[in-house]
Structure 1
Amino acid sequence: MILLSSIISTFEAELREQYAGSLLPSHLNALAAMKQCRTTHSPVMQAQCEDCVHQDFIPHSCGHRHCPHCQQHESQQWLERQLKKQVPAEYFLITFTLPKEFRVLAWQQQRTLYDLMMRCSWETLNTFAQNDAQLKGRAGAISVLHTHSRRLDYHPHVHVIMPAAAIDTERRLWRTKTGKGQSKKPNPSQSGTGYLFNHKALAKVFRAKLLDAINHVGLALPERYPETWVVDVKSVGNGDKALVYLGRYLYKGVIQEKDIIACKDGQVTFRYQDSKTKQTQTRTLPGAEFLWLMLRHILPKGFRRTRNFGFLHPNSKRLISLLQLLLGVNPNQDLAWLKKRPALKCPCCGGDMRIVKTRIPKVYAIPLSRSDHNPQVASVM
């Protein structure tokens, strides 16, 4: 497997020279972190076996949220939190795409435009839920911002996972929506059969809300932009597979190292799945251009890529628990298929190891020979 850290080491100088006027501090920080992630230059942590005296020194991950090595545990925790809030309703994946004419503005005003996209997409869906004849209440949604296409081009869009359900707070009623010819109790194992809202109507309202919001914050609109925007609505059953898909890119960058298949002659080749044909394709770029392609998707510092709205907001935990109790939903049932975080195993006896010390500078961590019955960290000061 070709490591991203090795690609950065090889092409970083060329990247800095070629894109000197475009690199931001957030890009440079990400490069520095991912370059030393789990390498011989990174700090180490000390692990000790609970059954024997063996100790090991393990390289630290960098912890950067865009590093393909890191944040697996955080992704798992996010997925568990979302699955615990599932409700008995058919779920839909709604995708709001920003037209290409706005990409320059989005790149120049990332924090502002990304925030507006997420807020306007939620406001659009909540408005439709309140006006819908079957729902007539406050909706709930999980929003995730993506800035990349499968080819890793700059392509800002917002994915929203939304149950076809709403809460009427005035009458204290829980309502779900079913399409024509559907059972009132949707089969969570099925997908693609339901109907939520008309995608063309959603696109019109989202367009109007976002244009108004951009004007309100004082940004100049592009000279030309399309009258018709694109919003996609797709049934995803009980939503677990869609959550797994979105969680994959929350904390681990836009590409997995296993998908980098070649690095030679100054070129980097990676593979991806074409969204239309579902066939695996490859793309080859100069090394510096490949790094820049990745860095364009580094989010502004502190910007939250995922947000929960409505009755799925974190401050609605008691409400969700009450709903699950009344509707007979076991929130732990959907967590059974999740893989637990693997334990660190001792190479000597196979027992579990625990971390006893972290962030040890590499220069101070010298593992003694295994013949020593009391290994420790030796100082070289």
Structure 2
Amino acid sequence: MRLPEDLERKHVISELRREGIFPGGDGPLPVPASPAEIRPDVGELCPPGFSAHPVSPFPGHGVLHTDGNAAEPPPERPAWEVADIFRLHGEEHRERHTLTPRQRKVMSDIENCRTGEFGFHAEVCGECGHTEISYNSCHNRHCPKCQGIAKRRWVNARVGQLLPIPYYHVVFTLPNMIFPLCHYNQALIYDLLITCAAETLKAFGKDPKWLGAEIGFYGILHTWGQTLCTHLHIHFVVTGGGLNEHGEWVSPKCGGKFLFPVCALSKVFREKFVGGLKKAYYDGELTVPDERAELRKPEGFEKWLNSLVARRWVVYAKAPFAGPEEVVRYIGRYTHRVAISSHRIISVENGQVTFSYKDYKDGGRKREMTLTADEFIRRFLLHVLPSGFHRIRHYGILANGRAAKNTEMIREMLRSEDGTGDGTPAPEPGDEFTKTCPVCGGGKMICVLIVHPYYRISRTHLLPPHLTGGEAYEDTS
């Protein structure tokens, strides 16, 4: 059924204006600049029964109180955020440096995330009807505050594909000699890194000497190191085994102690990457910056390429994961990360930013680094990905469109083998509604209303009948 007529957008806006929330007139509705400019009455926006329940602000960033007051920050909120640095020093950075439109958008989105610029939404407990209102997130994949939900959804999808087999963690890293070219050829070099590393793994999987089967894996590109400098590497989670040409499961050799030899992986990866880079150069696809003008001559490029080949090409492989649960914990740590978490920022004062980092040259010891705010922002923006670039990719038997069918077939295959596949089952995917009601402690908070920028209103999930006077509703428009 459609929403009742009195819940249509025109009525909602008029009711909001009647309450003094928005200015009158027929012109476009402005985006609020501060919490004090919005005092939404959720009862005017939602179906009968909704407003009868207590309303409180969401206990997080960018909170909306129905009385317009600011909320106390939760205990876990970091003292400083990347957004604070952008708000304090971003304008000066934009004036001093030439930024791409993409970098400017990332800065703007992070600055305005959960401030009211992107509207707000209401959540209702499915049990007791407790209501909370929050500002909308920017949903930019570079924003430190917006990756939690995306990460959980991606991890949940991977959990459903986990098999009762060992998994391996393999990391391919580019030499730092290539980094100056990266800033002018992001999409080309990032894609070359991912593609060459993936082709290397597939080739070793199909080689009868090592496995003789099609493996499955997914890769996660990271472009940064702990100090925000460029550090190009890709993490792979690889199945311990694969399907041969007869559709039979093949387990790793050498008792599963290792999947493939890292030295051999490194040599093949280097050959593939250098070959791809050379082809891009002679095809005119590689941009050479003015500071490396000597590379524009073929003899200069070949000399540089020989030096690149002589560098150390690091491929790192860890021991197999202990089980599916450890795989889930791992991918939860590495997926949907951004260059730096706000929790690592220690202080922002006198135009300087101090943050913590792990010194892996000293056994992962925790240290502190202080940069000017301008340099901090510059380093952060180095890691803005090209538009439409996919930093997480799936291959082999875990490729998109094949994973569900393959994993189910392999599970049945392993169950039929003596003693194999009877171990720990794959963990169950988590509930889509991950937030528990802070009042009753038993219900799940359901997002039922979203007010977008310029107050375009939409509704999401059904409210339970016991909260709406016995009749559920749904927006079918």
TM-score (norm: length of structure 2): 0.67
Shift in CA distance, 348/121, structure 1 to aligned 2, threshold 3 Å: closer
SS class of match (1:335): coil
Between 1 and 2, higher relative CO (CA 8 Å, sep ≥ 6) is seen in: 1
Match of 1:281 among 342, 367, 373: 367
Q: Which consecutive residues of structure 1, in runs of 5 or more, have no partner in the other structure?
A: 187-193, 366-381
Deviations 1:322-361, CA, capped at 9 Å, x for gaps = 1112213589943259687533637699865432321344
1:176 to 251, 264, 277: 251
2:331 and 2:360 map into 1 onto residues whose CA distance is 15
Match of 1:334, SS state, is: coil
Q: Which residue does 1:96 correspond to in 2?
A: 172
C-alpha separation in 1, matches of 2:219 and 2:314: 17
Does the 8 A contact of 1:90 with 1:235 survive in 2? Answer: no
- Shift, 1:93, TM fit: 1.3
SS in 1 for 2:360: coil
Q: Is the 8 A contact 1:70 1:252 kept in 2?
A: no
Q: SS where residue 377 of structure 2 aligns? A: helix
Asked if 1:229 corresponds to 2:313, the answer is: yes
* Residue of structure 2 equivalent to 1:272: 357
Q: What is the one-letter code of the residue matched to 1:311?
A: I
1:15 corresponds in structure 2 to: 93
Cα distance 1:172–1:48, how it changes in 2: closer, same or farther (>3 A)? Answer: closer
Whether 2:84 is the aligned partner of 1:6: answer: yes
Distance in 2 (alpha carbons) for counterparts of 1:357 and 1:44: 9
Q: CA deviation at 1:63?
A: 0.7
**Structure 1 residues 119-174: Cα deviation after superposition (integer angstroms, max 9, x where no partner):** 111111111122243511212111111101122211111111112312112x2221
CA distance in 2, matches of 1:48, 1:263: 37
1:34 positional shift: 0.6
Residue aligning to 2:388: 302
Residue 316 of structure 2 aligns with an amino acid whose one-letter code is: D
What does 1:207-286 correspond to in 2, within 5 Å?
207-217=270-280, 218=283, 219=286, 223=304, 224-227=307-310, 228-237=312-321, 238=323, 240-241=325-326, 244-276=329-361, 277-286=363-372
Partners of 1:56 and 1:356 lie apart in 2 by 11
Work out the percentage of aligned pairs sharing the same amino acid: 28
Distance of 1:225 and 1:116 partners within structure 2: 15
1:95 is displaced (CA, Å) by 1.1
Residue identity in the other structure for 1:307 = R
Q: Residue 427 of structure 2 aligns with which residue?
A: 335
1:313 corresponds in structure 2 to 399
Larger proportion of strand: 1
Query: In the superposition, relative to structure 1, how do residues 139 and 348 fare at CA in structure 2: closer, same or farther (>3 Å)?
Result: closer
Measured in 2, the distance between the counterparts of 1:354 and 1:341 equals 7
- The TM-score normalised by the length of structure 1 is 0.82
SS class of match (2:340): coil
Rounded to whole Å, the distance in 1 between the matches of 2:440 and 2:207 is 64
Which residue number corresponds to residue 82 of structure 1? 158
Task: Kindly name which structure, 1 or 2, has the bigger radius of gyration based on alpha carbons.
Answer: 2
* 1:358 matched to 2:433: no
Amino acid at match of 1:320: T
Gaps of 5+ in 2: 1-77, 287-294, 296-300, 416-420, 458-477
Give 1:46 shift: 2.8
SS in 2 for 1:12: helix
Structure 1, 34-43 or 287-296: larger mean CA deviation: 34-43
The alignment of Structure 1 onto Structure 2 pairs a total of residues equal to 351
What is the CA–CA distance in structure 2 between the aligned matches of 1:48 and 1:156, rounded to whole Å? 43
Q: Is the 8 A contact 1:144 1:246 kept in 2?
A: no
Please give the alpha-carbon distance, in whole angstroms, between the structure 1 residues aligned to 2:396 and 2:456: 50
Cα distance change, pair 135–59 in 1 and its aligned pair in 2 (3 A): same
What SS does structure 2 have at the residue aligned with 1:280? strand
Deviation at 1:268, TM superposition (A): 0.8
**Which residue is 1:112 aligned to?**
188
Contact 1:95 / 1:158 at 8 angstroms: preserved in 2?
yes
For 2:413 and 2:441, locate their aligned partners in 1 and report how far apart those are by CA, in whole Å.
49
